[in-house]
Structure 1
Amino acid sequence: MKLGVFTTLLSDKTLDEALTYLVSKGVQAVEIGCGGYPGTAHANPDILLNDESKLEEFKATIAKHGVTISGLSCHANPIHPNKSIAKEFDEALTKAILLAEKLGIDVINTFSGCPGDSENSKYPNWVVCPWPDDFLTILDWQWNEVLIPYWKEKAAFAKAHGVTKIALEMHPGFCVYNPASALRLREAVGDVIGVNFDPSHLIWQGIDPTLAIKELGKAGAIYHFHAKDTKVDSYNTAVNGVLDTKHYGDELNRSWIFRSCGYGNDLGYWKDMVSALRMVGYDNALSIEHEDSLMSTNEGLTKAIDFLKEVLVFEKQGGMWWA
């Protein structure tokens, strides 16, 4: 495994500056945004796909710092009910796939997306309960008329361009938000579909990340990993539950908040996750995604890096001489 970072948090720096900073802290791999919500600060497909000299400059910068690219990220909602928004996100995802092909990268991180409740919707409609029955009618339409057809087409396009792993981040608000929904889409579309496993979005749902890793790992469905923690506030959750629409900046009153690794859960919790990842054969990066509102970018990232150095298993295990 490798210690990685999602470079979007350093979008105010050039790629060379960001990598200089990260390598000085012991980072071995980077995840680079190239469209959608992460933006294009460090990899703009409109430039890199159309200017060979810029593409070579990008490759040279990566090589200069001796890091690997764990995946390209284009988190988006390509099935948004607003057709112009969906088109913009779909085109961004297409360009990300084409850039991955140019770079020899086979992992694209994104979201499954979420449509509305009909062809006439203006906004996404995330269904989270089976009653009244209207909700199941909506869910059936979303999956069978929109989600599955879209991803069948996009998965075929990705495979044709050498991208064999579309890693969907299981994120509430989108159709794929837990292991069951991820495996359902994978079953319908094929093994191009897997997950970008981010425990922070599972923790607040009450999911045990270690058990989720084992469940998804049995299917060979873990293609990437985000290292981000969540702290659940036991008092606020006991009063109001985990579904919380208060702003992320209202830390004192929220039921949960995102934290740097180690500030939501302890070493043992994270070591269990890493051990489970090794059990299921995952050997890509743990890519730190900094979204801790209580720390600066530098301090939050530095603390996460130091914490993960204690958690990660870097060497191959070798033979069992005792067995």
Structure 2
Amino acid sequence: MKLGFLTACLPRRSLEEIVTWAVSAGFEALEVAAWPDLGDRPFTATHLKAEDFGEREADEVRALFDEHRLTLSSLSFYDNNLHPDPDERAAINAHVRACIAAAALVGCPTVGTFVGRDPSKSVTENLRDAEKIFPPLVEQAGEKGVKLIIENCVMEGWHPDGYPGNLAYSPELWEWMFSLGLYLNFDPSHLVWMGIDPVTALRPYVDRIPHAQAKDIEVFPERRNRYGYPGRAVDRPDPWDVGWWRYRVPGLGQVDWRRLVDTLYEGGFDGVLSVEHEDPVWGGTEDRVRTGLRFAYSTLRPLLVA
């Protein structure tokens, strides 16, 4: 198992700069952000332009990673593949295809995205739509030797009432995803606030997890007693401000990383554990982000077999 991080936390840095720093900090892999360069959403970045990526670009990226003996673990484009606007949905689906093609060119084993959701439709209706959209994407990925992985992030901010906006938040939905040929990019933090024990949920599915993310969560039960699990309702100007929990870097929240890493090893996982840094305490400046990444490293590195 190797330890890496998702590059989206350093959006203003070039991929070369991030690679150099990652190696100096002891990381062994990078999950590379590959969103389109739209500049209008947090926690996204464009460190690889999938829509404009050919053999020359692939050679340059491979050389960069080979020079620093770093693993490129995944290309990340987490967006709503069931977007309610047909044109936006088509553009997102097309960019997933571009990421698959880019991953194949550069020899990257996985591409990460979301299932998503149209909030105007029921869960059942969304699942039927997804069953039409994803099989061609899975087929393209399979033909190119790439696995399409779905993160189990709830994406509550995509739903007007704070309900799940990404239909991949529970083991029930993971099994549905697997039936379509999709894989799981496992992130324990989202399970905690949904009331699901991450280790119990993880154990039966390790063989369908080629890549995992490391993000922690801090929960405030006294606030949940006021808001309920969907979060703030009366005054919620920020759709992502649930009000009773926040993301943290590993070691500063409530995930039991020792048990979780042990369960990954027990299940035969030998991929990359990638820190996804969305901690508001250790955010705001690049220096604080790097400190947060170092703290995550100090928490996780001792748990991994050298």
Q: TM-score, length-normalised on structure 1?
A: 0.82
In structure 1, how many angstroms separate the alpha carbons of the residues matched to 2:228 and 2:72? 38
1:301 aligns with 2:301: no
Describe the SS at the equivalent of 2:268: coil
Q: Structure 1 residues 184 and 47 mapped into 2: Cα distance closer, same or farther (>3 Å)?
A: closer
Q: Structure 1 residues 114 and 249 mapped into 2: Cα distance closer, same or farther (>3 Å)?
A: closer
Describe the SS at the equivalent of 2:210: strand
Instruction: Extract unaligned runs of 5+ from structure 1.
Output: 118-124, 126-137, 316-323
Q: Is the CA contact 1:171–1:178 (under 8 Å) kept in the aligned structure 2?
A: no
Letter in 2 for 1:270: W
In structure 2, how many angstroms separate the alpha carbons of the residues matched to 1:75 and 1:168? 8
Letter in 2 for 1:65: H
Cα deviation digits, residues 259-301 of structure 1 (max 9, x gap) = 11111126xx110000000111111111001101011212211
In structure 2, how many angstroms separate the alpha carbons of the residues matched to 1:82 and 1:93? 17
1:167 aligns with 2:158: no
Structure 1 residue 248: Cα displacement = 8.1
Question: How many residue pairs align between the two structures?
Answer: 282
In structure 2, how many angstroms separate the alpha carbons of the residues matched to 1:285 and 1:142? 31
Q: 2:253 aligns with which of 230, 249, 264?
A: 264
- The equivalent residue for 1:8 is 8
Structure 1 residue 39: Cα displacement = 4.8
- The equivalent residue for 2:141 is 158
Q: 2:98 aligns with which of 73, 83, 95?
A: 95
Segment drifting more, 253-262 vs 84-93 = 253-262
Give the 5 Å matches for 1:277-296. Answer: 277-295=264-282, 296=288
Letter in 2 for 1:310: P
Cα deviation digits, residues 34-75 of structure 1 (max 9, x gap) = 1257655321123322xx333322221111111001111111
* Aligned residues with identical type, % of pairs: 28
1:46 aligns with 2:51: yes
Describe the SS at the equivalent of 2:279: coil
Q: Structure 1 residues 158 and 249 mapped into 2: Cα distance closer, same or farther (>3 Å)?
A: closer
Structure 1 residue 116: Cα displacement = 4.3
In structure 2, how many angstroms separate the alpha carbons of the residues matched to 1:207 and 1:256? 15
- The equivalent residue for 1:18 is 18
Q: Which runs of 4+ in 1 moved over 4 A?
A: 36-40
Structure 1 residue 236: Cα displacement = 0.6
Q: Is the CA contact 1:248–1:254 (under 8 Å) kept in the aligned structure 2?
A: no
Q: Structure 1 residues 248 and 21 mapped into 2: Cα distance closer, same or farther (>3 Å)?
A: farther
Q: Is the CA contact 1:242–1:256 (under 8 Å) kept in the aligned structure 2?
A: no
In structure 2, how many angstroms separate the alpha carbons of the residues matched to 1:293 and 1:261? 13
- The equivalent residue for 1:66 is 69
Cα deviation digits, residues 137-168 of structure 1 (max 9, x gap) = x3332222x011111121112112221x2111
Instruction: Extract unaligned runs of 5+ from structure 2.
Output: 155-164, 283-287
Q: CA RMSD in A?
A: 1.9
Describe the SS at the equivalent of 1:264: coil
Q: Structure 1 residues 232 and 39 mapped into 2: Cα distance closer, same or farther (>3 Å)?
A: closer
